[in-house]
Structure 1
Amino acid sequence: MDASRPVERYSNFTPLVLPGRAWPDRRIVSAPRWLSTDLRDGNQSLANPMSPARKLRMFELLIDIGYKEIEVGFPVASQDDHDFVRLLIEEDRIPDDVWISALVPARDELIERTIQCLSGAPRATLHLYNATAPLFRRVVFGMDREQCRELAVRGTELVKKYADKELREGDFRFQYSPELFNETEADFSLEVCEAVMDVWEPAADRPIILNFPTTVERSLPSVFADQIEWLDRNLSRREHVCLSIHPHNDRGTGVASAELALLAGAQRIEGCLFGNGERAGNVCLVTLGMNMFSHGVDPGIDFSDIDRIRHTVELCNEIPVHPRHPYGGDLVYTSFSGSHQDAIKKGFDDLERQAAEEGSSVDEVPWQMPYLPIDPKDVGRTYEAIVRITTQSGKGGVAYVMNARYGMRLPKELQRDFSTVVQASAELLGAELSPEQVWALFEKEYLLPQGMPGELYVAGGRIAATLHLDGAGEHDARTIGAKLSAWGIDVRTVHRAARPAGQDVESTVYAECKFDAGIVWGAGVDSSVVGAALSAIGVALRRSGVPESMITTGPA
């Protein structure tokens, strides 16, 4: 380490001692309650905070995909936030099953103004907070533990007072956060929360949300899980408490912290779509939800059109989502590496085989795929972009593109032969090849130009060919050798690949022909399997280097 930046300035985090921790042996089997704070924590972190139109678009997106708790603003922080909350209430834009939430610090006049702002909301949560961490008590606020606790207690008393006055007509919830919880002494966090509950008096008809933020992520996710399990063990009135978490991503482990906290007893998670938020962002709700989905747990949120969600978030935040962002980035389902592409191609072949054996569709076969944790179709992606062709690609990638885009399942040796053509073209261009460019290369190399006769043979000789039939019937496979013999073609072997159910296309034949110069490939597509075979052998002849004077048409 450079001496000008001494590592000694930084201290390690002291973990909580938690004997007999239970969370490592648990599994996530159901979704938590979700709260989106895109319109509050996410919005306050933007260089250009959302306009009313952008806020409304974000709110409508969150409603549309299934979020039932949405923190819509910090009404005393700006007039824009206040006006937006009032717009949602006065224009009756809040669905019957959705709770809006507003944040407020533990200060008298701010609590009253925030509750007034929420007046008329059918379902509202007031989110009260104060900082409890020792660094903030000492440096920022100059108060001791008793003063800090009394601030939370006084704030809760004011919430009760003003809520009874202003929010009688709608359903009302109370949420309290000991801010910078992860940096606060565990016993003091518990002490403050118990004091708040003594005032609020939670009961079956009067629950409380206790929310524990990793305001600035400073420790291992396992440390946060221990903190949450300790609270889960020690909080009183636990049946009336919703234990909520609000992870940030300063160490890049916000998702891990959230997931381990769920194992430790958390019941609710606050975050933002695609991880927007202060510094390194809030925990990503998309990643959390899709992680559950990939393990067979329904997150209760509809991510079936991930590109629409991403586009809306980018528009509202005016921040692009990284192409490698889990589940939603442009490139997360794309492989460029030849070995990855080959494995994916074989994975799809295996799914087709299983579906054929079971008499079902590929979509009904359990998803087990190399390099793809979920089926891209489940989030609205097409298979077209899974494999992209560059100089790093191999035969598997080329074969995948030809099959997925053009329905041509190349034999393994033809894959290898064609991949050399594709790689040479990619190296010459110094750029990615589109599926259309790959097809054009195949067409030029292996298919007869339109109008050229397919009935070709070597005058005075015979051609030895192994034929690979794609889409031909059993009868075609049995009789094609006899039909082609008259053309001077000795068919050594016929390999048949049945097409998946429901595909009705022309016959495709790939001809593996033996000449003095070695094995040469050609391909043919025709309504007749014999016509396709003749075309394929004709191409092989043209490519073999046999002199044109030796090539003629008509039966031998």
Structure 2
Amino acid sequence: MSTQKIQIFDTTLRDGEQVPGCKLNMQEKLVIARQLEQLGVDVIEAGFPVSSPGDFEAVKAIAAQTKEATVCGLSRAVANDILTAAEALKGAKRPRIHTGIGTSDLHVTYKLRITRDEVIARAVEAVKLAKRYVEDVEFYAEDAGRTDNVFLARVCEAAVAAGATVLNIPDTTGYCLPEEYGAKIKYLYENVKGIDKVCLSTHCHNDLGLATANSVAGVINGARQIECTINGVGERAGNTALEEVVMILRQHPYLNLTTGINSRMLTETSALVSHMMRMPVQPNKAIVGANAFSHSSGIHQDGMIKHRETYEIIDPREVGVDQSSIVLTARSGRAALAYRLQKLGYKFDKPTIDKAYTSFLHVADVKKEVVDEDLHVLVEQQNLVAAN
């Protein structure tokens, strides 16, 4: 079976920037957009042009500087939104307007206060209007995760007939279970007329910690685009993390799904976004967290020293990390102590390391982590010698 490419749609500059305290200025947005293009993302959602003059100008500037990636502007199913997005995207080499409307009963009844038929009519009108200005029109069915599949299929089919090129199926509230979300994508793939002519897209939120799992379930069942953000930033608990889905597809080649992302740039891109958004990455964050390739348990350290793959499924160099870390704590064993001492250039025999280990544990019980300076002191006490 041939490998199929999954398009990576990055919305760090739109959905990610909606996080309180993460507002970016124009220059920061341009820097991140350049990094995303170098990273290899297929689509950059640059912002929501109608939301403010600043966002309009940022989308316009990103559109002008981007050479390879598609540049996307968000809009509601509102004429002025769409016209404003079209204006902001005029300079883009590959422009896309992303428009849509809520489809769940909760949105239809309480937010929009219209009928289901009116939802379909507004969706069609929005797609047709956007199509006058750009060839590439993405339609989103907001809160699709909680939308009845039969009605969702009706809306999607109408959007396709109106000219949509991409159908975005958002789990807006992060409610779906992976099996449920995957089944929803499969249902649409099998029941929407013309679905073979468009790209199904996932857009999953992380309210229950399932954004990445749902996105993977989506592409396994036919979606060919994942909407995600660097570090998983986004509304409330965040979005699908780009670095996670990219490495999941890479580490499971039997899925026959791949991306165009240069994974060796993931760590530096994560650090850049974290710095510019003033949003630290949690140490235990998958792929890009400070502890993602750190080992402090003696059992794990012993296995790692003997053969890295005993406790690591990813070579850290694949994501831009120089090497794994053996962190010395009270949980570390003799093998880890000997390993670190050798790295510092010391030589010793087994009786000496056994004696040194007892002293090491006394230090480790007092300190959270034993660092190189502590080891040099320990060496002086144990009369170890520097290796030639």
8 A Cα contact 2:364 2:370, kept in partner: yes
Q: Which runs of 5+ in 1 are unaligned?
A: 1-26, 203-207, 349-368, 449-523, 527-556
Counterpart residue number, 1:377: 317
2:342 to 394, 403, 406: 403
Query: In structure 2, what is the Cα distance between the partners aligned to 1:280 and 1:28?
Result: 36
Query: In structure 2, what is the Cα distance between the partners aligned to 1:236 and 1:437?
Result: 68
The SS at the match of 1:326 is coil
- How far 1:30 sits from its partner (Å)? 4.5
Query: In structure 2, what is the Cα distance between the partners aligned to 1:525 and 1:313?
Result: 42
2:62 to 88, 93, 109: 88
Q: Which string of whole-angstrom CA distances, capped at 9 and with x for unpartnered residues, describes residues 22-71 of structure 1? A: xxxxx995541000001111112232411112111211110121112100
Counterpart residue number, 1:299: 259
Counterpart residue number, 1:308: 268
1:438 to 371, 375, 378: 375
Counterpart residue number, 2:148: 185
Counterpart residue number, 1:421: 359
Normalising by the residue count of structure 2, what TM-score does the alignment of the two structures yield? 0.92
8 A Cα contact 2:167 2:200, kept in partner: yes
Change (3 A) 1:103 1:397: same
Aligned 1:141-156 pairs, distance under 5 A: 141-156=112-127
- How far 1:306 sits from its partner (Å)? 4.0
- Quick check: which has more Rg, 1 or 2? 1
Identity score, percent: 28
Query: In structure 2, what is the Cα distance between the partners aligned to 1:31 and 1:390?
Result: 43
* Code of the aligned partner of 2:66: I
- How far 1:418 sits from its partner (Å)? 2.9
Query: In structure 2, what is the Cα distance between the partners aligned to 1:145 and 1:416?
Result: 75
2:292 to 289, 312, 332: 332
Counterpart residue number, 1:45: 19
Aligned 1:279-290 pairs, distance under 5 A: 279-290=236-247
- How far 1:375 sits from its partner (Å)? 1.7
Query: In structure 2, what is the Cα distance between the partners aligned to 1:425 and 1:42?
Result: 43
8 A Cα contact 1:290 1:299, kept in partner: no
The SS at the match of 2:106 is helix
8 A Cα contact 2:301 2:332, kept in partner: yes
Q: Which string of whole-angstrom CA distances, capped at 9 and with x for unpartnered residues, describes residues 376-435 of structure 1? A: 23333233x611111221112212212344375x666654443222112222x4331113
Change (3 A) 1:210 1:412: farther
2:106 to 118, 135, 138: 135
* Code of the aligned partner of 2:371: S
Query: In structure 1, what is the Cα distance between the partners aligned to 2:65 and 2:387?
Result: 58
Query: In structure 2, what is the Cα distance between the partners aligned to 1:101 and 1:41?
Result: 12
* Code of the aligned partner of 1:212: I
- How far 1:443 sits from its partner (Å)? 4.4
Q: Which string of whole-angstrom CA distances, capped at 9 and with x for unpartnered residues, describes residues 516-540 of structure 1? A: xxxxxxxx846xxxxxxxxxxxxxx
Aligned 1:242-391 pairs, distance under 5 A: 242-296=199-253, 299-347=259-307, 369-383=309-323, 386-391=325-330
Are 1:119 and 2:124 matched, yes or no?
Answer: no
8 A Cα contact 2:284 2:292, kept in partner: yes
The SS at the match of 1:64 is helix
Q: Which string of whole-angstrom CA distances, capped at 9 and with x for unpartnered residues, describes residues 110-165 of structure 1? A: 2222212222322100111100110111111111111111111121222234x1xx
8 A Cα contact 2:73 2:96, kept in partner: yes
Poorly superposed stretches of 4+, deviation over 4 Å: 27-31, 410-415
Change (3 A) 1:344 1:123: same
8 A Cα contact 2:7 2:224, kept in partner: yes
Query: In structure 2, what is the Cα distance between the partners aligned to 1:218 and 1:182?
Result: 7
Are 1:392 and 2:323 matched, yes or no?
Answer: no
Q: Which string of whole-angstrom CA distances, capped at 9 and with x for unpartnered residues, describes residues 53-95 of structure 1? A: 2111211110121112100010001111101122234xx4111
Are 1:158 and 2:158 matched, yes or no?
Answer: no
More helix by share: 2
* Code of the aligned partner of 1:393: S
8 A Cα contact 1:28 1:262, kept in partner: no
Query: In structure 2, what is the Cα distance between the partners aligned to 1:28 and 1:219?
Result: 30
* Code of the aligned partner of 1:371: Y
Aligned 1:100-119 pairs, distance under 5 A: 100-119=71-90
Query: In structure 2, what is the Cα distance between the partners aligned to 1:30 and 1:413?
Result: 56
Query: In structure 1, what is the Cα distance between the partners aligned to 2:36 and 2:22?
Result: 20
- How far 1:284 sits from its partner (Å)? 0.3
Counterpart residue number, 1:494: none
Q: Which string of whole-angstrom CA distances, capped at 9 and with x for unpartnered residues, describes residues 317-371 of structure 1? A: 11001111001111111111111111212225xxxxxxxxxxxxxxxxxxxx122
The SS at the match of 2:263 is coil
Q: Which runs of 5+ in 2 are unaligned?
A: none
* Code of the aligned partner of 1:69: V
The SS at the match of 2:307 is helix
Change (3 A) 1:412 1:188: farther
Are 1:75 and 2:46 matched, yes or no?
Answer: no
Q: How many residues align?
A: 385
Structure with bigger RCO (C-alpha 8 Å, 6+ apart): 2
Query: In structure 1, what is the Cα distance between the partners aligned to 2:118 and 2:362?
Result: 74
Counterpart residue number, 2:32: 58
* Code of the aligned partner of 1:52: M
- How far 1:239 sits from its partner (Å)? 2.5
- How far 1:265 sits from its partner (Å)? 0.7
The SS at the match of 2:326 is coil
Normalising by the residue count of structure 1, what TM-score does the alignment of the two structures yield? 0.65
8 A Cα contact 2:201 2:226, kept in partner: yes
- How far 1:437 sits from its partner (Å)? 2.4
8 A Cα contact 2:103 2:143, kept in partner: yes
Aligned 1:211-230 pairs, distance under 5 A: 211-230=168-187
Q: Which string of whole-angstrom CA distances, capped at 9 and with x for unpartnered residues, describes residues 487-509 of structure 1? A: xxxxxxxxxxxxxxxxxxxxxxx
* Code of the aligned partner of 2:244: T
